[in-house]
Structure 1
């Protein structure tokens, strides 16, 4: 057995002991429900990335045993970490506890030290991206989470009986899972998709990709590459293109400078984590509008990874004015000049567009967005915030028109677009456990309240005695005679 295997074996034993001492996970308590002989699933979690795993962990911890986690990717490829994430290390500080749910033995630090030792941890700057994915795979294994891979959710449809039909496609055919609740833990683009500016469609699709796309970087060797944007993903993709041997890299930034200050990180605290949801709406808007306008800077190591190449060229104050196909390449025009490029990578983020998600087609028209009920401040218009879903206390969707789609309260948005309603609890590492705790407790409350009649019947039927009747004697009773008052 290798030292790494021995270290993980010891860590897993420690975690198992911690769970026993804490009496976790809780015993199952949700009464089973059947429809036409089929067991109804209490919760279906869509997505087995970090958010989906910790949501599952919290549900299991609180005794909701009958839940499923579905992911369309093969096992080990969930989330962005080994697909379109192209940074060398995570952007978050290594010591963040992330999805550990308050358990020291479940932290990334515990995992890393078990594999590589304390000295390696002390020398580590940030978590290597691929090791982080290894950690999430281990996390899923040691908690025995009910994940099923290569299953794609095609639609979520309310039923007349108050349940939800979750239509899925498996390799062996289509199926319907009847569920009481659905959690959308579907990542950064879970309520929309990658955003590219309209100018992109003026040239053939073969000339460009989004940073979230699968890109053949080897094909860019000796080619001229343009990257649009100065966010972290833009820098990461620019660096990979340079490392693959592109002839020239031009990075175009609309602003006159690259953002330098990470605003929200600067005020990170337990106050923000637990207090943001309690802010008046106008203050939620003010906080996030300021943050989004400032934008998040790319990490310093990611930027240096690009600028260390002599053939990397940064162009600030250079929004795209025109793209034109000329033979086998594209001419990019900005206020500062024209540039011949062979391929363009758009690092332009993601958009919230519920109608773009086929799995939400049956419910999307009924979902209330912030713009539907919040008067947007005239001095703070913000399309991203206006399109954010307006969520309830456990991340559930709310109805645009009361009574139009009551099943919305059973569908929970546990992904990035929940930020305006709840703060940064559902998309990033720092507070993901707190977000999952809020989500799971809300679902538990709903399940118990809905089943109150069955729990009351169980209460009345419970007759296991605590006392057997031989534990004490009535000091005033006379043998064989009824007690007489003095």
Structure 2
């Protein structure tokens, strides 16, 4: 019988690993970093996977950031809701947020509790188990998190950014030198709602990322627009909760079969992307976007096992009418009468969507401000992505205003065009977090370089006390002593 080590033993191993590496190092910043005075070096907005990984990377460099998240403790990130997939797409052996110790990986966490045999039998990581692991990771790395802090405004000053939060106890303000926007999929985005929904009341439809209770669809005829992973997850969840039928409305003639982005996922590509020209980055991103990413194999089978699931190809919606509390949908492949519609139509960037970024949005340089692609690669969605510096920093449309925004860091999926696959996706999270943390550490030091140099010049930390040696007599004195001996 296999002997399980248990989490307590694993946690002791993590403590030992960090000790061997002399981690985390002591704080060294010379700024007025004070939680009590609400003046801090680094604020991280979002306590999901990206946020806690960035916080740990900073901590390993002697910087204690504060994380603010609008969700209650334990409910950060999308994993409990609105995500619906049974398992992650990433391979189970993915390193993810583990930075300084292999004992911090999901694999180590899983094996400690369930053993090697269960690990070998595991195909993909269950979504809710991944959330459980991330909560454990957060406990082990112990970032300082303020929950139920909703960012409602950012005021840009010369030497700091003032963050205004809505909390259960009222409005709270913090001043931060550096601000990491680890705010996930919805950072600067909104649900992409097609125009054919303009006249349909919201009580008859929702976006697939709405996070509602699918039990309410029992006995209903549903439509799902799209063929993405989100479309499959929504369809399967509705069917598993008793939907009478699900019509999957797919305008394409077939499902995409090959995940083009997966082929590029090597260490070479991840590190080389920073050296790509703008044209090369755009060409890659545009190609992968237009080639489309297939839904996972398991997610698709989760739908097709139901006899009341219908995959309708070449089915583009032309218009929708609401009559007698039913949606009458006219498509290029006939008509459908449904009770409810779920739109798995993705997200699009909308800089004016979130009030918190109202002051920031007009200043931000986008790819549309910088790069004009060939006509064959025109892509309005890519054009709206932020055009970032080399370390995730936002840049201003006008160079003389860069000082206002370049200590704000876009550490979410909208950074992917500028930065490549090192943010938002589990495999590259550790790489992106370390790049960001290295840059912020350097900037915090440079902001007080003269003071740090003065500490060098005035240091009194003596390593020699003066009694470790006896001064030698001069050569002539030693000769005299020698003559006397003779």
Do the aligned partners of 2:18 and 2:100 also contact (CA within 8 Å) in 1?
no
Partner of 2:484: none
Q: 1:237 to 1:34 in 2, by over 3 A?
A: closer
Partner secondary structure for residue 33 of structure 1: coil
Residue of structure 2 aligned with 1:149, choices 147, 159, 178: 147
Partner of 1:75: 73
Instruction: State the TM-score, normalized to the length of structure 2.
Output: 0.95
1:445 CA displacement? 1.1
* Matched residue count: 478
CA distance in 2, matches of 1:99, 1:365: 33
Do the aligned partners of 1:226 and 1:343 also contact (CA within 8 Å) in 2?
yes
CA distance in 2, matches of 1:40, 1:200: 46
Partner of 2:299: 302
Do the aligned partners of 2:38 and 2:173 also contact (CA within 8 Å) in 1?
no
Q: 1:327 to 1:24 in 2, by over 3 A?
A: same
Q: 1:480 to 1:109 in 2, by over 3 A?
A: same
Partner of 1:276: 273
Partner secondary structure for residue 237 of structure 1: helix
1:39 CA displacement? 5.0
Q: What are structure 2's unaligned runs of at least 5 residues?
A: 481-486
Partner secondary structure for residue 180 of structure 1: strand
CA distance in 2, matches of 1:170, 1:122: 45
Do the aligned partners of 2:422 and 2:429 also contact (CA within 8 Å) in 1?
yes
Structure 1 residues 60-71: aligned runs within 5 Å: 60-65=59-64, 67-71=65-69
CA distance in 2, matches of 1:471, 1:376: 70
Q: Are 2:259 and 1:262 equivalent residues in the alignment?
A: yes
Do the aligned partners of 1:189 and 1:351 also contact (CA within 8 Å) in 2?
no
Instruction: State the TM-score, normalized to the length of structure 1.
Output: 0.95
Partner secondary structure for residue 31 of structure 1: coil
CA distance in 2, matches of 1:304, 1:37: 53
CA distance in 2, matches of 1:477, 1:7: 68
CA distance in 1, matches of 2:106, 2:440: 27
Structure 1 residues 382-461: aligned runs within 5 Å: 382-404=379-401, 406-461=403-458
Partner of 1:176: 173
The C-alpha deviation readout for 1:127-155, integer Å capped at 9, x for no partner, is 11111100000000011111121111111
Q: 1:296 to 1:36 in 2, by over 3 A?
A: closer
CA distance in 2, matches of 1:121, 1:435: 28
Q: Are 2:13 and 1:14 equivalent residues in the alignment?
A: yes
CA distance in 1, matches of 2:4, 2:368: 52
Residue of structure 1 aligned with 2:248, choices 248, 251, 258: 251
CA distance in 1, matches of 2:370, 2:127: 40
Q: 1:82 to 1:453 in 2, by over 3 A?
A: same
CA distance in 2, matches of 1:338, 1:102: 57
Q: 1:376 to 1:452 in 2, by over 3 A?
A: same
Structure 1 residues 37-48: aligned runs within 5 Å: 38=37, 40-48=39-47
The C-alpha deviation readout for 1:11-63, integer Å capped at 9, x for no partner, is 00000000000011111111131699925210110001100010011011111
1:169 CA displacement? 1.2
Cα RMSD of the aligned pairs, angstroms, is 1.9
